[in-house]
Amino acid sequence: MGAKTDNTADKKRIEELRRLLAYHSRLYYEKDEPEISDYEYDMMFKELKELESAHPELDSGESPTHRVGGRADERFGKVRHPVKMGSLTDVFSFDELRTFVDKTRQQLLSMGETEVFFSVEPKIDGLSVGLTYEKGKFVLGATRGDGVEGEDVTANLSQIKAIPHTLTEPLSLTVRGEVYMPRAAFARLNAQKEEAGEKLWANPRNAAAGSLRRLDPAETGERGLDIFVFNFQSGELYSDGSVPETHSGTVERMRELGFTVIDMLAVTDDTDRIIDEIRALGERRDRLANDIDGVVIKINSLRQRELLGENTSTPKWAVAYKFPPEEKRTKLLDIALQVGRTGAVTPNAVLEPIRLAGTSVSRATLHNIDIIRSRDIRIGDTVIVRKAGDIIPEIVASVPECRTGSEVPFRFPEACPSCGERLVYDSGEDGDDETGEGTVRCINAACPAQLERRLIHFASKGAMSIDGMGPAVVKLLKDAGLVSSPADIYKLKADDIEKLPRMGTLSAQNLISSVEKSKGAGASRLLFALGVRHIGEAASEEICRRFGGIYPLFEASVEDICAVDDVGDIMARSLTDFFALPETRELVDDLRDSGVVCDYTGTASGSALEGLTFVLTGTLPTLKRNEAAELLKAQGAKVAGSVSAKTSYVVAGEAAGSKLDRANQLGIPVIDESKLLEMLGEKR
């Protein structure tokens, strides 16, 4: 009877772990917005594997333990990998590592092998990609995806300077590498986002993944991404099609061909030496220019790897030793509140400075009120802070045994620290208990802290794209009383602007010109600029395409909006709630009366180009690529970042690169600017 009860409890825990892992995997791989640390995810994954091993009758082919990574993003073309891009089995202790090394060595010795060597190298914390070359030319780049099928991000990868467009020899091959964001580039990116009042990236890995998936490849190029190539997948490494006999030899050969490879690679047959190398890398990790989250240990002989083979989703000849998260104690001095663009009031811990993971830490995120309550965190507490591979530190727990009695429980104020209006408790994202999070929110649309961040977002690139209206200028205009809503931007006068500090006549005139130009941005960019919760740039485009503009949204129901592709119930309710507000109607009317286009201008009904997909490459004689893209979208065409079988035409200019090669391989029609203008009905 007791055994049956245990089995029932284990079955329930297995189902819970599968649900949690699927949820957090989706956030990590597909949205690049993790809510938990890598370590917490790894521990849940390990627990699930152990439970499934103890109860094979409860195992399932649909379990996260049998899958790799995430699904391919539908926004990009899909690529089937020539060789499966698998993941590695993780180990978390030297005892587990010794077991792997001893077991693997014994297996090979029993097969008649006389010596067994292992390679030891850092595990770069980034995004795995495959790079394909034909006759020495870079023709295709893809994310790992689910290991079998990934996303075609060729155009974006072409923007990374460390990826050679041409190899030193005309060979055809596919290699695997890890795209990452150096710490310096990450710090710059988050500083820009903080200045703009935007949500910060949690860590360089997620910033790298998000940057690589930008719809505009030029934006990827601005993010400072880098790559290490670490594995030969298929093809020829020599002109006769042969490959080196060892992994270390392969890495050296890839270096000769022009790839950036990892220098910190050791080869040894001694288990103690492997552990010494891991300890040495652990001591150096804080001084590296990039994040590493562990060390990869592999059989060095490629022939011996073939002998060992693979499990369902991982090779038998390699493991990844994962570094434990670094944790330190310090004093929580205070809890400061920050009001975001959507009114979310975020608590941040003010700490006695400590040195953690190579940097000085004096602030840490507390996420929300539920975290403070569940971890019983009090002002004055000794707290445990960690960076489990993340740049943004967090408080793991308080240390009650260190309390003196002077600690003060934290309570959210009833009034907003910015505007003084009433705060409300929002239990999770619109009642979605899956996240287990609750947010305290200011619902006053006129809140000064929200206003400044909303104005910054309204003017930002991708929204109304008002050049010259960055965070500093928005603050100047707001503090001077010139703007108190987005509609006020279109009532600005050059005479008023030039009187502000650091502006002047020319700056004022340029800003007014940019404001005037933004009036024609169109409905989809206006909707995105309005900053409706849960409604991003892509969703704004699809919604406005379906409804034809902003004003039909005042009458649209939740069911109407849910009929739009990729728009769910939460997004639809957020949109209908926003357009039910009287102040929304007043704002949109004010914008329209100022000349802001509220109709969807992305599709010219009946255009011969409607529904066709174009890819732009190279430098065009008279058009900038973004101008060409806008002209095409105005005719109902789609503009993609990479060439696939679905591409209708490739528009090639001077110095066209891999996209042109790819188009020729697939037989996609290639046209020049003059033909494009002819198709558009434009005269130049």
CATH number of the domain where residue 162 is located: 3.30.470.30
Residues 537 and 636 both lie in one domain: no
Residues 280 and 138 both lie in one domain: yes
Query: Is 658 inside any structural domain?
Result: yes
E strands along 399-483, which residues?
408-409, 423-426, 439-442
Query: Is 520 inside any structural domain?
Result: yes
Query: Is 603 inside any structural domain?
Result: no
Residues 95 and 214 both lie in one domain: yes
Domain count, the chain: 5
pLDDT digits (tens, 9 = 90+) for 574-616: 899 889 888 889 999 999 999 999 998 765 445 678 778 888 8
Residues 310 and 335 both lie in one domain: no
Residues 661 and 532 both lie in one domain: no
Q: Which two tokens stand for residue 532?
A: 């409706």
pLDDT digits (tens, 9 = 90+) for 238-261: 988 889 999 999 999 999 999 999
Of the given ranges (117-121, 357-361, 590-594), which has the lowest mean pLDDT?
357-361
Query: Is 438 inside any structural domain?
Result: no
Q: Which residue has the higher pLDDT, 634 or 674?
A: 674
Could you list the residue range(s) of the whole structural domain that residue 523 is in?
448-588
The CATH number of residue 664's host domain is 3.40.50.10190
Residue that is last in its domain, among 66, 92, 115: 66
Residue that is last in its domain, among 66, 88, 113: 66
Q: What pLDDT score was predicted for residue 3?
A: 42
Closest CA to 317 of 66, 49, 119, 63: 119
Asked if residue 1 has pLDDT above 60, the reply is no
Q: What pLDDT score was predicted for residue 627?
A: 75
pLDDT digits (tens, 9 = 90+) for 191-234: 877 666 566 776 788 889 888 988 788 888 889 999 999 999 99
Query: Is 73 inside any structural domain?
Result: no
Degrees, nearest 5: CA angle 124-127-132: 105
Residues 277 and 151 both lie in one domain: yes
Greatest distance between any 2 Cα atoms in the chain: 87
The CATH number of residue 413's host domain is 2.40.50.140
Query: Is 597 inside any structural domain?
Result: no
Query: Is 432 inside any structural domain?
Result: no
Residues 280 and 331 both lie in one domain: no
Q: What pLDDT score was predicted for residue 5?
A: 43
Contact 511, 469 (CB under 8 A): yes
Q: What pLDDT score was predicted for residue 28?
A: 57
Query: Is 606 inside any structural domain?
Result: no
φ/ψ of residue 139, rounded to 5: -120, -20
Residues 393 and 465 both lie in one domain: no
Tokens 């910015």, residue located: 418
**Residues 6+ away with beta carbon under 8 Å from 500:** 476, 477, 480
Residues 525 and 621 both lie in one domain: no
Residues 29 and 117 both lie in one domain: no
Q: Which residues are catalytic?
A: 123
Residues 156 and 282 both lie in one domain: yes
E strands along 207-285, which residues?
226-235, 266-268
DSSP 399: -
Of the given ranges (67-81, 174-188, 410-424), which has the lowest mean pLDDT?
67-81
- Please classify residue 290 by burial: count the beta carbons closer than 10 Å to its beta carbon, then call 0-12 exposed, 13-18 middle and 19+ buried: buried
Residue that is last in its domain, among 273, 289, 322: 322
Residues 105 and 10 both lie in one domain: no
